[in-house]
């Protein structure tokens, strides 16, 4: 597994990895203001007693995750880190089911863990998805996630600050060699946090959702 170029450098494909402090600060300042994001997260948490809601999300997102499996060239031998799995971890479930991968489903909110595990068990993928509490900006060798087993990261549209998450993942000694990030559409940028343009993707795919129109790929 290859290491990423440091921030402020270019990677082996010539992709920019520059992040300005202002961009990070601006992205971080949108935290706390996010009413829509809070609403979706609360909705996710409150729907655990309604299994049909999870099933609907899985159905709605099947083409989104299929596009990301293609974009990231995700195969059955890959290990995937899903940053921001939520209480309804439909992305992690679809990755496990459709790509046949093992997934570490990370969320900073410890209260989503038991709900997430409940849905994963119902979806019959609990043996391939491990729910882990933690912060996407603080993934390192000390976390319980065995980084050597992580080849691909998929970052949720609502996970933030995206610049910091991507930079953290890129700088890991033994981290993912492909990072897929959902880039919110402009009406949702201030709510969800946008990855700054200085992050020049190695690939993109269009997405049919209201909240994010593209998923971006960054390679080592």
Ligand X SMILES: C[S@@+](CC[C@H](N)C(=O)[O-])C[C@H]1O[C@@H](n2cnc3c(N)ncnc32)[C@H](O)[C@@H]1O
**Cβ of residue 82: shortest distance to ligand X, in angstroms?**
7
Distance of closest approach, residue 160 Cβ to ligand X, in angstroms: 5
E-only strand ranges, 78-208: 79-83, 102-107, 129-133, 152-155, 178-184, 203-206
Closest CB to ligand X among 4 and 90?
A: 90
Q: Which CB atom, from 162 or from 178, has the smaller least distance to ligand X?
A: 162
Interface contacts to ligand X, rule CB under 6 A: 40-41, 44, 83-86, 88-91, 106-109, 112, 135-137, 156, 158-160, 165
Shortest separation between residue 14's beta carbon and ligand X, angstroms: 28
Cβ distance 85 to 107 under 8 Å?
Answer: yes
Task: Please identify, using beta-carbon distances, which residue of 5 and 156 lies nearer to ligand X.
Answer: 156
CB of 56 to ligand X, least distance (A): 12
Q: Which residues pair with 153 in a beta bridge?
A: 81, 179
Backbone angles phi and psi of 218, in degrees to 5: -120, 125
When the beta carbons of 11 and 158 are compared against ligand X, the nearer one is 158
3-state per-residue secondary structure call for 90-110: HHHHHHHHHHCCEEEEEECCH
Is the distance from CB of 180 to CB of 68 less than 8 angstroms? yes
* Nearest distance, CB of residue 100 and ligand X, angstroms: 18
Compare residues 83 and 152 and give the one whose CB is closer to ligand X. Answer: 83
* Location of structure tokens 């981290």: 175
């Amino acid at each position: 597994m290859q290491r990423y170029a440091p921030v402020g450098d270019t990677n082996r494909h010539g992709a920019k990895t520059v992040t300005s402090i202002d961009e990070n600060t601006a992205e971080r300042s949108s935290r706390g203001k996010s009413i829509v994001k809070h609403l979706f997260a609360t909705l996710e948490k409150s729907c655990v007693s309604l299994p049909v809601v999870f099933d609907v999300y899985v159905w709605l997102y099947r083409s989104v995750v299929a596009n990301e499996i293609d974009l990231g060239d995700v195969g059955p031998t890959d290990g995937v880190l899903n940053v921001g799995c939520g209480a309804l971890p439909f992305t992690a479930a679809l990755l496990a089911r459709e790509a046949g991968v093992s997934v570490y489903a990370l969320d900073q909110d410890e209260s989503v863990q038991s709900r997430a595990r409940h849905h994963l068990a119902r979806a019959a993928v609990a043996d391939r998805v491990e729910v882990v509490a933690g912060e996407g900006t603080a993934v390192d060798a000390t976390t319980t996630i065995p980084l050597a087993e992580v080849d691909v990261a998929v970052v949720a549209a609502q996970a933030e600050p995206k610049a910091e998450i991507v930079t953290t993942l890129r700088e890991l000694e033994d981290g993912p060699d492909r990072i897929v990030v959902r880039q919110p559409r402009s009406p949702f940028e201030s709510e969800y946090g946008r990855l700054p343009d200085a992050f020049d993707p190695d690939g993109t795919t269009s997405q049919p959702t209201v909240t994010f129109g593209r998923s971006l790929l960054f390679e080592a």
